[in-house]
Amino acid sequence: MNTAPTTGCAAWSKLAALARAAGGIAKQPLVAEGPGLRLDYSRQRVNAAVLAALAQLARERGFDDWRAALLAGEKINVTENRAAWHTALRAGEAAPKEVKETLARILALASKIRSGKKFKRIVSLGTGGSDLGPRLLADAFGDGTIDVRFVASADPLELERALAGASPASTLFIVVSKTFTTQETMANAAAARRWGGRTFYATTANLAAARAFGADEVLPTWDWVGGRYSIWSAVSLAAACAVGPDTFGTFLEGGRDMDAHFRDAPIEKNLPALLALLGVWNINFLDARAHAVLPYAHRLRLLPAYLQQLEMESNGKRVDREGRAVSYATAPVVWGAEGTPSQHSFHQLLHQGSQAVPVDFIDPGVDAVLSANARAQADALAMGNRPSSTLALDGLDARGLGRLIALYEHKVFTQGVIWNVNSFDQPGVELGKQLAKQILEGGK
């Protein structure tokens, strides 16, 4: 597996030379198709020579080998000596036995809770990757069968609001923490118990701690699933209750669709790889330090926040796989909001700000007015030589969302390969947790 410095690749030097001579947006038709998705990157500042050099860079970085290792569940998270095998969570009949058994429990519990009379409200207690994904899925496709709330903040107000009007006897708490030691989550779990909470389920890799806490049901997760890649697992039990077991299963199928495309499509037609390489071109050679994601659908209003963690916690690194300081930019600042409201908030900066910000427009085609606005904004940016891509979905259902999220997961992984960083650890986050603990303990 190639872990040599990225800047030593011949294609890196070639791209630097092409960037010095880069022109504006050529507006030639550049389109790639995937399962239920169409990527239009005609409004990017690329030409045939740039695209060829980007594909060459991926090959020089050993993209094919890294991709095969990821999908095979090899231990590519070398820092923690673990696999990064989130694709196994949505692999259907090809999934490991323990994954299939846990999925069956998720679906059975979701069905029982939704059809039963005991619980009127579910409150999911988790933060980061244990919150952002399930919250997105429930917000997008929750059908109102049961009232599902999410609490991520250490601020007691969020829990207070989640419990307003609820009864302890008819409220189910789901504690989601891989280690079952996450400070915010365990503080909220303790507060829920003081409130009078009677029924607690847990999703964790620390089964003993969850049982010691008194959880009535404990569903496992595994050390080879990073939090920000865990939406496909029992971490999403509350979301499965919100959307229903059938919809949750369909969501997993969408992820599996994209896995097959990522595995089989050549680089030049591979949607995740193309998005990744376009990002590398913009970040490393055109000096773009931010990236905006603008979904033109209310169901996807939480997607930018989800992608912030997925991209920045994964690739926000300044040290490569061999511990060397990198001399180039890695993950950009990812931000965004739902369109069309964002047009009345920050699009002025996108159009005429002093720094160009590449944009992903996501158009599920749910409404003609929304689609027209997405296209108009992309066209207007192109007039000012501001790059963007448009992802068009064949409608917006749970399968489409699964495809979209898996697309971005594989984009992040591909950029990690290009930049030679481990996309599956987060040492800066862990240091911050340790320092906060020391501060709290010192104040006692």
Cis peptide preceding 330, ω within 30 of 0: no
- Residue 281 DSSP label: I
Which of these, 305, 273, 312, lies nearest to 410 by C-alpha position? 273
Number of C-beta neighbours around residue 276 at 10 A: 26
DSSP state of 229: G
Whether 291 is catalytic: no
- Whole-angstrom Cα distance, residue 49 to residue 8? 19
> Which residues lie below 8 Å from residue 312, measured CB to CB, with a gap of 6+?
331, 333, 334
Q: Using CA of residue 246, residue 251, residue 255, residue 258, what is the dihedral sign? A: positive
CA distance readout (Å), 294 to 128, 237, 333: 21, 28, 14
Residue 353 CA: distances (Å) to CA of 120, 180, 348, 356: 48, 44, 7, 7
269 annotated active-site: no
Residue tagged active-site, from 120, 269, 298, 433? 433
- Cite the beta strand spans of 4-54 per DSSP E: 31-34, 37-40
Q: How far is CA 439 from CA 3, 135, 431, 432, 444, in A?
A: 37, 30, 12, 11, 9
From the candidates 93, 97, 117, 344, give the one annotated as an active-site residue: 344
In the chain, what is the greatest distance between 2 CA atoms, to the nearest angstrom?
68
Q: Is position 433 annotated as part of the catalytic site?
A: yes
The per-residue DSSP string of 37-50 comes to: EEEE-TTSS--HHH
For 31-53, give one letter per residue: b (16+ CB within 10 A) or e.
ebebbbbebbbbbbbbeeebbeb
Please report, to the nearest 10 degrees, the dihedral formed by the alpha carbons of residues 368, 384, 290, 150 taken in order. -20
* Distance (Å, whole) CA 225 – CA 115: 30
> Active site residue: 86, 184, 311, 313, which one?
313
Q: Catalytic amino acids?
A: 313, 344, 433
